[in-house]
Structure 1
Amino acid sequence: MEYVWGYAIRREWPDGAHDLFGFAADPETAQRWLDRDRAYWRGGPVRPAAVYLVAANAADVDRHPVAGCRRSCCPDSPERGQR
């Protein structure tokens, strides 16, 4: 499972930190999770600067810090296989 490639949600915060979570191997599941996350934050007083899908492997997501990451080596590429 560690080397399986798929998609994860990357949430950017105004202070420069980011979150990486929600690994999904198929694009349909990843898009549903992304839509749900965007809807959750849309009406609140605190909002991320950006929320988008990135190409990632399961290990990237599993080992990522829970919150407040500022590492530049984290996955930040756009979606793979855009339709």
Structure 2
Amino acid sequence: MTSDAYKFGYAIRREWPSGEHDLFGFTPDADIAQRHLDRDQGYWQSGPVRPAAVFVVAVNARDVERHPVGGCRQSWCPNVPERGQR
């Protein structure tokens, strides 16, 4: 484990109506995180299946690295939207 694993940044949290969530797209740059968010929201906007919510959360790289790939229900996952989101 390198010191980069504890690097602070942002990720996208996608919540599903089933109560599961995804956490992905770590970046140390808030502007890049916003672009990831815009792209993800655009992708799901016209589909028949849509997430209940998609937002940017403050995380460290390890939070994202350790996160399960399939839907997750862990209570320890970052779940507070980053302030100042559009």
TM-score w.r.t. length of structure 2: 0.91
- Structure number with higher helix proportion: 2
Q: 1:67 Cα deviation (Å)? A: 1.5
Gaps in structure 1 of 5+ consecutive residues: none
Would you identify which runs of 4 or more consecutive aligned residues in structure 1 move more than 2 Å?
A: none
User: Corresponding residue for 1:5?
Assistant: 8
Q: CA RMSD in A?
A: 1.2
C-alpha distance after superposition, 1:6-46 (max 9, x if no partner)? 10000000000000000010100000000000000000000
TM-score w.r.t. length of structure 1: 0.94
User: Corresponding residue for 2:65?
Assistant: 62
| SS of aligned partner of 2:6 | coil
Q: 2:17 aligns with which of 14, 17, 35?
A: 14
- How many residues end up aligned between the 2 structures? 82
Alpha-carbon distance between aligned partners in 2 of 1:72 and 1:17, rounded to the nearest angstrom: 11
